[in-house]
Structure 1
Amino acid sequence: MSNSKKILVGEDSSIIINLTKNVLAFENYKMTAARNGQQVLDKLANEDFDLILMDISMPVLDGIACTKAIREMKDEKKSKIPIIAISGNILNMTMDEFRKAGFDDFIQKPLDYDKVLATVKKFLS
């Protein structure tokens, strides 16, 4: 029996955190929440994760700056972790711009949880 995959969610909305946790639990994914980019970095420094769902607009350290910091980590396992941007995309970024910022994929808010699960599975299967 394999261990369940661990997903770190960087998101400042309690509602989105709770909905995401419930949806991921259906597939036996273990979720840890971080409310800002600095918390994402702190949790990643102390623990291994299989994937990160990262909100773009967060307090303290936004998702783009946080992703850049992760991509620059010395630990190759952590620097290469799949990171999926979740955003209302108020910056109107293209998929190419998300990739240049270090993201592996992008999911538009409001979140379609079927798409969230399908995207997560794409990277973790």
Structure 2
Amino acid sequence: MRTYYDRGGDKAVVEVARDGLQAVEAFKNSREGELEAILMDIMMPNMDGIEETKTIRSLDHADAKSIPIIAMTANAFVEDMRKTKEAGMNEHLTKPVDGEKLLQVLYKYKKTGL
């Protein structure tokens, strides 16, 4: 499901997946450069975020190794952060997610100007 946002001229298109398997399929079916980042929930049905990230990073897809993957989780221990980093995630944000922090992280990885 795609949702379109416009916040004072800053625009975003958000593709939502119901579970880990659907998210992997959405990534597989995306064109190179179509997706700019993945906000990864760690606790998802059918495939958790750690396994999903490992799967995405192993795919034969032009963006598989480079797309920023951002963990979004209630798991805030050092061990949890180590697991997300080892799986191939770029950032680890804890819930409840601070909106400004999320925007900072997204801008950090933004490929094109707004």
> Match for residue 32 of structure 1?
15
Consecutive unaligned residues in structure 1, runs of 5 or more: 1-20
| Post-superposition offset of 1:34 | 0.6
2:45 is matched with which residue: 55, 59, 73? 59
Q: Is the 8 A contact 2:21 2:52 kept in 1?
A: yes
Identity %: 33
| Post-superposition offset of 1:50 | 1.0
4+ residue runs over 6 A deviation: none
> Match for residue 98 of structure 1?
84
Distance 2:104 2:29 in 1: 28
Query: 3-state DSSP class of the match of 2:89?
Result: coil
| Post-superposition offset of 1:78 | 2.8
| Post-superposition offset of 1:25 | 3.9
Normalised TM-score (structure 2): 0.80
Which amino acid is 2:67 matched to?
I
Distance 1:95 1:58 in 2: 17
Change (3 A) 1:54 1:92: same
Normalised TM-score (structure 1): 0.73
C-alpha RMSD over aligned residues: 2.1
Consecutive unaligned residues in structure 2, runs of 5 or more: none
Which amino acid is 1:123 matched to?
Y
Q: Which has the higher helix share?
A: 1
